[in-house]
Amino acid sequence: MVFPLDSLQDYQLIFKPEHEMLRKSIREFLEREVAPHALEFDERDEVPRDILRKLGEQGLFGIGIPEEYSGQGGDMVSAVILMEELSRVAPPLAVIRGTNDLFAIPLMLFGTEEQRRKYLPPLARGEAFGAHAMTEPCCGSDVAGIQTRAVKKGERWVINGRKIFISNADIADYIMVFARTAEPPANRRWYGITAFIVEKDTPGLKIGAKFEKRGLRGSHAVEVILDNVEVPDENRVGELNMGFIIAMETYDRTRIGVAAQALGMAQAALEKAFQYSLQRTAFGQYLASFEAIQFALVEMIAELMTARYLTYLAAYLADQGKEEFKYVASLAKFYATEVAERVVSRAIDIHGGVGVIHETGIERFLRDVKITEIYEGANNIQRIVAFRQLLRVLSRKGLVNPEVARAIT
């Protein structure tokens, strides 16, 4: 009954009163300050700095960062609540906020105390932004295949390479750059990658072309060029040659936020479709009078509630320190994003022709949600990751032969 978890208790979700208070305060702020401008972000492909400043003043960039680094504290569940609410109103804000996590989480997990005290407080206060540069023209899902190089010269590292599709890099003050620092053994392709912090004014760092994407407009994906970029060894994050592990541990956590982004988009589309069905008439009846519409709406609700449970379960397991959260996070990422695409598509169908009119504010969610199925680990990759993580957990518990698990993973 409980496989692949251990007990019924592992399936529980416990929300604290402060979680609901957080959700309400975020929603009230976003409805008041952001919702009236959300379509403009898409039209102009720009989020005004004034909006980002207001998010910082509300402490929204500090959720998940400990108070000793000027953050608001809070657990993974709180971060998921934030990401869902941001995406319900303005998905590009969730991307900007989530990309900060891609910089902050490696520091919180693997950084030195000096690095945390230098870089986390400005991020938490919304005074600075971070980016995470991994993807290259050669390599997206194949993280171990990156070709950017870092060579040690005295106490400094010289980095050369090119990164693409890097979110936030055009507004980032700090970029977490992953580069190869050693040739890997044949049986350990992942070995030999190291993470470095590169500050925006570092000579040789160039922000290249902005890619014109059709979704999540307002958050930019750009090219990052590293031409003999020199950084001190103190900017190295974590152990030398172990950057792949740093990245994977980070993605295990941030992909929960991507699932939450999808939830927010689906929630917005469901709400719009439900209200429209109670207002629009056809053949002398409200749309909601037709069984086809009723069936569509309740199926949307069922799928969304299921995806929400899986996403919050991943967050809750992470907060409990359960290793199982890693495969549940991958399950949530591919399931929630695919559910969201179906929910948004059905919401457009319910609206008919109105659904593809930009001013209605629905069609943009379909463009936005498609990207969530691709970035931070394409969904078929997540299916592979989920299975392999499950095997590793079961192997450590003695429920699967370790040799079999190693042969498969």
Q: At what angle do helices 379-396 and 325-351 cross, to 10 degrees?
A: 150
At residue 286, what are phi and psi to the nearest 5 degrees?
A: -65, 145
- Return the percentage of the chain with pLDDT > 90, whole number: 96
Q: What's the mean pLDDT in 27-39?
A: 97
Q: Within a 13 Å sphere around the CA of 56, how many CA atoms are in the beta-carbon half?
A: 18
CATH of the domain spanning 8-129, picked from 1.10.540.10, 3.40.630.30, 1.25.40.80, 1.10.10.60:
1.10.540.10
Q: Which pLDDT score, from 0 to 100, does residue 409 have?
A: 79
**Residue 58 neighbours by CB under 8 Å, 6+ apart:** 26, 29
Q: Do domains 132-240 and 245-408 have the same CATH topology?
A: no
**In the predicted structure, residue 337 carries a pLDDT above the cut 80:** yes
Q: What's the mean pLDDT in 385-391?
A: 95
Residues carrying an active site annotation: 376
Instruction: Encode pLDDT of 350-378 as tens digits.
Output: 999 999 999 999 999 999 999 999 999 99
Instruction: Encode pLDDT of 48-61 as tens digits.
Output: 999 999 999 999 99
Position of tokens 């499950």? 390
Residue 91, classed as helix, strand or coil, is helix
Beta bridge partners of 151: 158
CATH of domain 245-408: 1.20.140.10
Q: What's the mean pLDDT in 132-151?
A: 95
> How does residue 402 score in pLDDT terms, banded at 50, 70 and 90?
confident
Q: Which pLDDT score, from 0 to 100, does residue 187 have?
A: 86
Q: How is domain 132-240 classified at the architecture level of CATH?
A: Beta Barrel (2.40)
Q: Which pLDDT score, from 0 to 100, does residue 1 have?
A: 59
Q: What's the mean pLDDT in 105-121?
A: 98
Q: Which pLDDT score, from 0 to 100, does residue 404 have?
A: 85
Q: Which pLDDT score, from 0 to 100, does residue 407 have?
A: 84
- Return the percentage of the chain with pLDDT > 70, whole number: 100
Domains of the chain, residue spans:
8-129, 132-240, 245-408
**Residue 178 neighbours by CB under 8 Å, 6+ apart:** 133, 134, 143, 146, 148, 193, 194, 195, 196, 243, 247
Q: Which pLDDT score, from 0 to 100, does residue 406 have?
A: 85
- What value does the mean pLDDT of the chain take? 96
Instruction: Encode pLDDT of 250-308 as tens digits.
Output: 999 999 999 999 999 999 999 999 999 999 999 999 999 999 999 999 999 999 999 99
Q: Which pLDDT score, from 0 to 100, does residue 405 have?
A: 83
Q: With contact defined as beta carbons under 8 Å apart, do 32 and 335 qualify?
A: no
